[in-house]
Amino acid sequence: MNTLLLLVLMVFCHGISSYGAVTNVSTRPDVVNIGAVLSYMSIIGKVAKVALETAVEDVNSDPTVLAGTKIRLMMKDSNYSGFLGIVEALQFMEKDTVAIIGPQLSVTAHVISHIANELQVPLLSYSATDATLSPLQFPFFVRTSHSDLFQMAAIAEIVDHYGWKEVIAIYVDDDQGRNGIAALGDKLAERRCKISYKAPLPPEPTRDNITDVLVKVALTESRILVLHTYAGQGPEVLNVAKYLGMMATGYVWIATNWLSTILDTNFPVASDVMDDFGGVITLRMYTPDSEVKRKFVSRWSNLTRAKHTNGSFGLSTYGLYAYDTVWLLAHAIDAFFNQGGIISFSNDSRLTDVQGGGLNLDAMNIFDGGNLLLKCILQVNMTGVTGPINFTSDRNFIYPAFEVINVVGTGFRRIGYWSNYSGLSLVPPEMLYTNPLNRSSASQRLGVVLWPGETTQRPRGWVFPNNGRQLKIGVPKRVSFREMVSEVGSDTFKGYCIDVFTSAVNLLPYAVPYKLFPFGDGRNNPSGTDLVQLITTGVYDAAIGDIAIITNRTRIVDFTQPYIESGLVVVAPVRKSNSSAWAFLRPFTPKMWGITAIFFLIVGAVVWILEHRINDEFRGPPKKQVVTILWFSFSTLFFSHRENTVSTLGRLVLIIWLFVVLIINSSYTASLTSILTVQQLSSPIKGIETLLNSNDPIGYQQGSYARNYLVEELGVRESRLFPYNSPEDFTKALNDGPHRGGVAAIVDERAYVDLFLSTRCEFSIVGQQFTKAGWGFAFPRDSPLAIDMSTAILKLSENGDLQRIHDKWLTRSACTKQGTKFEVDRLQLKSFWGLFAICGAACLLALIVYLFLMMRQFSRHYPEELKPPGSSSGSKRLRTFLSFADEKVEDVKSRSKRRQMEKNSNRSSVATEDESTNSYKRRHLDLSSSNKSLDSCNEA
């Protein structure tokens, strides 16, 4: 508020008079006063002046807009002075001004917005784009163009689109410059990018000021430069940059929309000036093509000649937004009157209270209808020359968008668009508003860019700084496995990791100055985690060596592509498994042997059941039948069974069983061959699972991440873990074993273990590698050198150099070529349960079908045995059924046939007797009838 009081004092000194309270009783007056503050001769101001005057004329000539009310526009020239802009805005307050258009600069807008809040006069600015002009702090400030927040979001997406991670910001050190760069930093951070260096310029810099700033910029690493300044200073900055060689190949310049404003307003620009702009990318506020825009653009040349004495000039987007600002205000004033608003002003009591001291503040009046007019402004929904005009809830225009422009030669060309809805695209934003939202990286596209240096190849975006500083690279000072890395002199190292690093650096397309520094006390192997943490504190610029890429390290640094795989494995003592008289039993586990034998018996019994009633080879005395079952079942193991199967069900079961036997035979033969021909190694420890299920002590290499992994990930007690520094310590601990103060096994990285085992044949890796990891070189987060080094490592792998370096340092032949292998697991039942399940199901199904068919035969041949229980006992029926099941099918059929013939014979005898009886009865009846007739005649 001290600034506000100072301004009021200055106004008083300029002789502002007291007008008192003024009230216009007419609800729709003949004239409405609006003010405008701009710099007439500035590149934005001269365009805006013509646009504002034209807009007022167009509004006043259209009776449908304000129903006869005219707008009186009072413009004042601030002449590049923020102070004059403030004073002139205050002067409007004494003339019943209902709204002010402007100011042109965000710096001035911050101060005038305080006055607008106090006097409730809406302040509409088409060029004050500072994102911190918040509606919460300045409710009467209305921006009628796009905020810098969206412009910086567009720049951030361009940076991210080309894969750059760091930029340098060059800006004017005022409110608009600082706040714009702060917004850029926020938008870059959303994409894991950042501003690596900020280079502020004085508000009115000299050439020496600019040179000093750019010299510092040239000494930095990044080559992505964002220039956020004004149209007056921007060309001078690019001219000095060209003089310093900073417009050459490798640099990227992204200018905010001040450059597109120059190109639009002063086109054609002088060729020597355009040379300074070559390859620069800039933004322009996007206004969609329309009929009303084309008409206004066609009028522009005539308007500038008529209204400007210094000749014609081009139309920038600021002119379009200035023109629409007047129309927006006109529609709002019309709505204000339609809602019963009146133009009236009243004294500010707080200003009256501070009249003491000679300050004459009675002229500062409050606009009584200010709140209603502000509401009407924010509710305007129209289409102007800039496209649809409608405010969002946070007072930004809907559909903010920019054109992306590349300066080429003596002109420029559009390479794409950016919109807050769809990001970067090659088609106008309005064509995408109706499509579903798609912000995927594949949908973000821009056209071909001609970069500084007249190249179309995307610049890398960074170089090593030209300040003579070497990279400080930390190297672990190992005391064991020195084939990996070892110090051989003062700051001199050799080893596998060092050779990989130097070979990759030699493939880079630029020189990398660096110096190696040892890390460690020389008595114990240093921790890789401690080494990479020193990168985050700035002690080292990078770290190379046997550094495993694990999760907690990737959270703080960036790693290159792994140059060797090295997960954790278990090493334990092993012994040779000598052959024995019972070696033939080793291919199968006891359970496998038992189940196989049981199935031999089951299949033999099932086949016997299915064949017993129809096949003479499966019949005979009980002793013979038992021998037949055993012989048949076990002879199938060699496919030498003599008995033929004649039933369909028996053949089906036998086919399936023979297939199972074939698989079992083949597996047994292969496993036994391996056991008898290849020397086997055995160990009571089968892998990490064995260690987790026991309480035996475990060894690990000092400095390795194995300790943290075992404790934090696998839950191993720390008391079980013992650190060792050298391969000799490993050997002693493993030979002593857990019962003599040693360990049961060592857990270490595969690369070290391979070296350890190359000369120690009494130990071996047991089980599988239980983590996946690799070694890489560590760099600070988002370091572009990590990406380039990864590319170099891939080239080493493709051309075979990486393998040659590996063979040079890590290949040993003492034990690696022996024809030995660790004892394989015996064949388990779980590997064959599917086959046994299929065979068992086939046997069960065959028995069910066989039982069903036999019951049908039994019911046909012994129907009297199936009568209700009262007729015969259950035990008799069971004995009859078992006797039936044991009989041969032919015997059952012949007996049934004889029984049927006997039944038929008995039926014939009964029929004859019945016929004789019936004949006798008939003769007796006839005789009786004759006797009765004779008796009757005698009586007569």
pTM over 0.75: no
- CA 669, distance to chain mean position in Å, is 50
Dist CA 257 CA 285 (whole Å): 7
- Please name every residue paired with 520 in a beta bridge, in sequence order, or none if there are none: none
Can you give the pLDDT at residue 403?
Answer: 96
Q: Two tokens at 573? A: 């003592």
Question: Bigger pLDDT: 870 or 137?
Answer: 137
Q: What average pLDDT score do residues 533-545 get?
A: 94
**Residue 13 pLDDT grade (very low, low, confident, very high; cuts 50, 70, 90):** very low
Question: Bigger pLDDT: 484 or 767?
Answer: 484
Q: Look at 12-21, 153-162, 718-727 and tell me which has the smallest mean pLDDT.
A: 12-21
Phi then psi for residue 125, to 5 deg, are: -125, 130
Question: 3-class SS at 877?
Answer: helix
Can you give the pLDDT at residue 126?
Answer: 94
Question: Bigger pLDDT: 454 or 92?
Answer: 454
* Strand pairing report for 558-559 and 778-779: antiparallel
Q: What average pLDDT score do residues 640-665 get?
A: 77
Q: Note whether 510 and 688 are within 8 A (CB).
A: no
SS3 content of the chain, % helix, strand, coil (to 5): 50, 15, 35
Q: Look at 12-21, 52-61, 378-387, 917-926 and tell me which has the smallest mean pLDDT.
A: 12-21
Do you find a cis peptide bond into 203, omega within 30 degrees of 0? Answer: no
pLDDT above 70: residue 580: no
Contacts of 406 (CB under 8 A, 6+ apart): 279, 280, 281, 412, 413, 414, 415, 447, 449, 450
Residue 201: its H or E element: strand 194-201
- Please name every residue paired with 439 in a beta bridge, in sequence order, or none if there are none: none
pLDDT above 60: residue 636: yes
For 871-920, how does the pLDDT look when each residue is reduced to its tens digit (9 = 90+)?
Answer: 445 666 666 666 666 666 666 566 666 666 666 666 655 555 555 555 54
CA atoms within 13 A on the CB side of 494: 5
Q: Look at 214-228, 238-252, 360-374 and tell me which has the smallest mean pLDDT.
A: 360-374
Q: Note whether 344 and 29 are within 8 A (CB).
A: no
For 777-787, how does the pLDDT look when each residue is reduced to its tens digit (9 = 90+)?
Answer: 999 988 888 98
**Residue 89 pLDDT grade (very low, low, confident, very high; cuts 50, 70, 90):** confident
Residue 878: its H or E element: helix 874-886
Q: What average pLDDT score do residues 606-613 get?
A: 76
Q: What average pLDDT score do residues 478-500 get?
A: 90
In 3D, which of 881, 847, 878, 886 has the Cα closest to residue 861? 881
- CA 519, distance to chain mean position in Å, is 36
Q: Is 375 left (phi over 0), alpha (psi -120 to 50) or beta?
A: alpha
Looking at residue 720, the DSSP 8-state letter turns out to be G
Dist CA 279 CA 405 (whole Å): 10
Q: What percent of the chain has pLDDT over 90?
A: 48
Can you give the pLDDT at residue 345?
Answer: 86
pLDDT above 80: residue 10: no
Torsion of the alpha carbons at 353, 357, 362 and 363, rounded to the nearest 10: -130
pLDDT above 70: residue 136: yes
Q: How far is CA 516 from CA 465, 519, 667, 805, in A?
A: 18, 10, 57, 20
Can you give the pLDDT at residue 936?
Answer: 46
Dist CA 464 CA 453 (whole Å): 19
Q: What average pLDDT score do residues 856-869 get?
A: 60
For 63-74, how does the pLDDT look when each residue is reduced to its tens digit (9 = 90+)?
Answer: 889 988 999 999
pLDDT above 50: residue 830: yes
Beta-strand (E) ranges in 730-801?
745-749, 763-766, 774-775, 778-779
Dist CA 714 CA 697 (whole Å): 15
For 172-194, how does the pLDDT look when each residue is reduced to its tens digit (9 = 90+)?
Answer: 999 899 999 999 999 999 998 99
Cα Rg for the chain, rounded, in angstroms?
51
Q: Note whether 610 and 843 are within 8 A (CB).
A: no
**Residue 590 pLDDT grade (very low, low, confident, very high; cuts 50, 70, 90):** confident
In 3D, which of 605, 662, 592, 636 has the Cα closest to residue 833? 592
DSSP assignment of 286-336 equals: -----HHHHHHHHHHHHHHHHH-TT------HHHHHHHHHHHHHHHHHHHH
Number of H helices, E strands in the chain: 30, 34
Residue 649: its H or E element: helix 648-677
Contacts of 457 (CB under 8 A, 6+ apart): 451
Q: Note whether 168 and 199 are within 8 A (CB).
A: yes
Looking at residue 712, the DSSP 8-state letter turns out to be I
Q: What average pLDDT score do residues 662-678 get?
A: 75
Contacts of 910 (CB under 8 A, 6+ apart): none
For 315-336, how does the pLDDT look when each residue is reduced to its tens digit (9 = 90+)?
Answer: 999 999 999 999 999 999 999 9
Q: What average pLDDT score do residues 139-146 get?
A: 95
For 744-779, how does the pLDDT look when each residue is reduced to its tens digit (9 = 90+)?
Answer: 999 999 999 988 988 888 888 888 888 888 999 999
Can you give the pLDDT at residue 622?
Answer: 73
111-120, 640-649, 921-930: range with highest mean pLDDT: 111-120
**Mean pLDDT estimate for the chain:** 83
Do you find a cis peptide bond into 459, omega within 30 degrees of 0? Answer: no
